[in-house]
């Protein structure tokens, strides 16, 4: 029998797959509905899909009630930028070798 955490992961993945490619307005309506019924897991899935599609307006709305999510997103963007910078990756690789 799957644990509660595994069930949530499955539901979260299902929600993301169903929302993939949805337009911003529809995501915003679903986000509002999810919050109205207290389905925080669905609201979070919608928030992530909206950010992946570049709908920052929904991200801003989510951050007003979840300020920790804004900080998490800022850290994610910083790490993403760092990982996409080939020069920085080379420097880190050489620094790692110098330590060994």
Same-domain check for residues 61 and 77:
no
The H or E element containing residue 100 is: none
The full length of the chain comes to 100
Taking only the tens place, the pLDDT of each residue in 20-31 is: 778 889 999 999
Same-domain check for residues 13 and 56:
yes
Number of separate domains in the chain: 2
Query: Are the beta carbons of 19 and 46 closer than 8 angstroms?
Result: yes
Query: Are the beta carbons of 24 and 57 closer than 8 angstroms?
Result: yes
- How far apart (Å, rounded) are the C-alpha atoms in residues 12 and 87? 36
Per the structure, the complete domain to which residue 100 belongs is given by: 67-100
Taking only the tens place, the pLDDT of each residue in 39-91 is: 888 888 899 889 888 999 999 999 999 999 999 999 988 888 877 777 776 77
- What pTM was estimated for this model as a whole? 0.69
């Amino acid at each position: 029998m799957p644990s509660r955490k595994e069930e949530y992961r499955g539901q979260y993945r299902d929600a993301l797959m169903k929302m993939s490619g949805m337009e911003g307005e529809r995501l915003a309506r679903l986000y509002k509905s999810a919050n109205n019924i207290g389905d925080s897991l669905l609201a979070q899935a919608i928030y992530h899909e909206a950010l992946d599609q570049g709908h920052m307006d929904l991200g801003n709305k989510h951050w007003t009630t979840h300020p920790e999510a804004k900080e998490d997103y800022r850290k994610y963007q910083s790490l993403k930028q760092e990982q996409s910078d080939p020069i920085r990756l080379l420097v880190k690789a050489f620094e790692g070798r110098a330590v060994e």
